[in-house]
Structure 1
Amino acid sequence: MRQTIVATTFLVGTAMPLQVQAQETDYPFTLTNCGVETTFDVAPDSAVTIGQSATEILYSLGLAPKVVGTSVWFNPVLPEYAEVNEGIERISDNDPSFESVVGKKPGLVAVQYEWHVGESGIVGTREMFRDVGIPTYILPADCDTKDNSTGGDGTRTGAFETDSVYKGIRELAAIFDVQAAGKELVAELQNTESDAVARAEALDLPDDLSAVFWFSSADLEIDPYVAGRLGAPGYMMAKLGIENVIESDEEWPTVGWESISRADPDVIVIAYMDRRRFPADDVEKKIAFLRTDPVASQMTAVREGRIVQMDAHAMSATMRSIYGLETLSDALSEMSFE
């Protein structure tokens, strides 16, 4: 399971510390982020985050003292940042207003989802922030290989890869001139990723192993939001040699339980979260539904008890997706498929 990130990382298979060479950012620093070119004359003196992933990356880079406000939370912050997070204002649990973000006068707004800050951003457009002198940065995991103009959660144009997470970490580290911290964090995450894959490969899992990821449902009586094949859950399944029974390229399509039951996945992964926007956000209600619904209860995964609970935030294309890969790998090691 997820371990606290330490200051010194190690190369896989060695006992030698990885020496991270500090590289200073050469200002003015210009980058193109999700199609928008932005120049920083100096490192931002403060930041507001819209999205838990952006918050946790900044914390992981040692930049918590610069974070003056956070928003859009699914679950509690990573344990090692609980204390520092208590001292930082939470502007909103969900979607903040444009005025509440601008009111903090941040040097940067770091964003997880383009639908919050984008061409049709529900918080505001990038142009709106630019017009008041505030630069924005959207995590590449939500725009690389993804078309957000399709509405909803967008459509993947290519499979999510963790390289987009590492790109976001490196670019934020460069913006704030903490590139050594960025290199250490990426190295730690890469080690976690490779260890999880190696653990699964050692299990000799069935070649035709299949799964479905259930995020939530607007109502338990209607079709659930399940993971398409190209998002973060698709990455996890591909890395571990698991077939996704959902073939859609949408990030979170709705699919009927009758169709899912006909596919009869070997494993069901369900999201747990603190958010309570929908009834099925509650993981206990998900479990109760699977065990009592006349259709869903007949699936092999339910009858055999192969239900995995996973951090909802890991099911989005975030840094936590790597910890989700670790969670799934660990869960598979406890299952029998005979």
Structure 2
Amino acid sequence: MLLPHVATLIAGLTLSAFAQATPTHYPLTIENCGSTLTFAHAPTRTVTIGQAGTEMLYAMGLGDKMVGTSLWFNNVLDTYKVQNDKVARLADNEPSFEAVIGKRPELVAVELEWMVGPQGAVGTREQFHELKIPTYLLPSDCEAKDNLVGADGTRLEPFRIDSIYKSVSQLAEIFDVRDRGEQLNAELKASLAKSIATARNKDLKDASALVWFSSAQMDIEPFVAGHKGVPDFMLSTLGVRNVVQSDEEWPTVGWETIAKANPTFLVIARMDRRRFPADDYEKKLAFLRSDPVTRNMEAVKHNRIIILDAMAMQASLRMFDGVEQLASAIDGYDLSK
């Protein structure tokens, strides 16, 4: 279960805590990824394009302000099921522009700029803004990143964890629930500190890892984590080196190159999406253990393979659970083999 203390955040807040919340003063104007957004009131009809933003709103108890979701890698957590069951699923992947505006949203919250951006698969921000529909892009995908270079964008600077805290704070301000945002961020920071403390139990100065997200076909170069993205942050925070040096978010790298690097750990994504064959983590495992190149890697021979939900590899609340799982798994391995 993802961060149970976070998942029960809203249930644990008292009515008096809500009464003490500092109210948002409207009209509210914020700067977001190159756009100025103004809200006359808290949105009552929101569409999310991306699971990360969806679950941030659920974690703050804002499911009743949502009228549509889309772009899911993993199934919704049981904790959020009651909220999620009342929100229309517009698409498992990208929705159409017409499907989004058909919900008459007062806000569209977007996880990835390649969905809503200069070359957006759904549309451009200008298209939405011309209809007086503000689009809030999670800062983690626009700050210090060029989304026009590489299939999933290229990091100009390493991912910063503060971008997630910023998303929570700004969404909380937009919806006039600042206290909920502050407490959620406090819980996230405490979780990260706990994971870092766990990793300190290991001597990881020579440890390395590869993070395999998916592959368009099983027998071609896989999509792996670049050295400035979210998974790299997760690894480096725990003291583990990413063997991939590309600045791209999810570059493709050949298995021969990966085998030569011989990472200490392999981290593979588990997802419920089925866009590519390697979305199925069991097929990833079967490939690693049967391919003549990969089966001889030390991580495969010693079963140092860590399975994480795909959303734990994104700039999302689940990332904190992913760091905790990584730290726990690494702590349990005997690295003397």
State the TM-score bracket (shorter-chain normalisation): over 0.9
Q: Is the 8 A contact 1:270 1:310 kept in 2?
A: yes
| Distance change >3 Å, CA 8–CA 83, structure 1 → 2 | closer
Equivalent-residue separation in structure 2 for 1:77 and 1:142 (angstroms) = 22
CA shift, 1:45, in A, is 1.5
**2:172 corresponding residue in structure 1:** 173
Q: Is the 8 A contact 1:197 1:240 kept in 2?
A: yes
**2:117 corresponding residue in structure 1:** 118
User: What amino acid is aligned across from residue 211 of structure 1 in structure 2?
Assistant: A
**1:233 corresponding residue in structure 2:** 231
Q: Deviations over 1:87-123 (max 9, x none)?
A: 2110100110000000000110011001111111110
Secondary structure of the residue that 1:294 maps to in structure 2? coil
User: What amino acid is aligned across from residue 80 of structure 2 in structure 1?
Assistant: Y
Q: Give the alignment of 1:51-62 within 5 angstroms.
A: 51-62=50-61
CA shift, 1:9, in A, is 11
Q: Give the alignment of 1:233-252 within 5 angstroms.
A: 233-252=231-250
With the length of structure 2 as denominator, give the TM-score of the two structures. 0.95
Equivalent-residue separation in structure 1 for 2:242 and 2:113 (angstroms) = 26
With the length of structure 1 as denominator, give the TM-score of the two structures. 0.94
CA shift, 1:204, in A, is 2.4
Equivalent-residue separation in structure 2 for 1:141 and 1:107 (angstroms) = 22
Question: Runs of 5+ in structure 1 lacking a partner?
Answer: 11-18
CA shift, 1:316, in A, is 1.7
Secondary structure of the residue that 1:49 maps to in structure 2? strand
Q: Does 1:184 align with 2:183?
A: yes
Q: Is the 8 A contact 1:211 1:267 kept in 2?
A: yes
Equivalent-residue separation in structure 1 for 2:3 and 2:136 (angstroms) = 28
Secondary structure of the residue that 1:32 maps to in structure 2? strand
Q: Deviations over 1:300-323 (max 9, x none)?
A: 000001000001111122222111
The one of 214, 217, 241 aligned to 2:215: 217
Q: Is the 8 A contact 1:108 1:135 kept in 2?
A: yes
Q: Is the 8 A contact 2:221 2:253 kept in 1?
A: yes
User: What amino acid is aligned across from residue 3 of structure 1 in structure 2?
Assistant: L
Q: Does 1:144 align with 2:146?
A: no
Q: Is the 8 A contact 1:8 1:184 kept in 2?
A: no
**1:200 corresponding residue in structure 2:** 199
Equivalent-residue separation in structure 1 for 2:239 and 2:34 (angstroms) = 33
Q: Does 1:329 align with 2:327?
A: yes
Q: Is the 8 A contact 1:56 1:78 kept in 2?
A: no
CA shift, 1:62, in A, is 1.1
Between Structure 1 and Structure 2, how many residues are aligned? 329
Secondary structure of the residue that 1:119 maps to in structure 2? coil
Question: Runs of 5+ in structure 2 lacking a partner?
Answer: none
User: What amino acid is aligned across from residue 46 of structure 1 in structure 2?
Assistant: R
Q: Deviations over 1:279-338 (max 9, x none)?
A: 011000000000000000110000001000001111122222111111100111211101
CA shift, 1:151, in A, is 4.4
**2:272 corresponding residue in structure 1:** 274
User: What amino acid is aligned across from residue 265 of structure 2 in structure 1?
Assistant: V
Secondary structure of the residue that 2:9 maps to in structure 1? coil
**1:2 corresponding residue in structure 2:** 2
CA shift, 1:205, in A, is 2.3
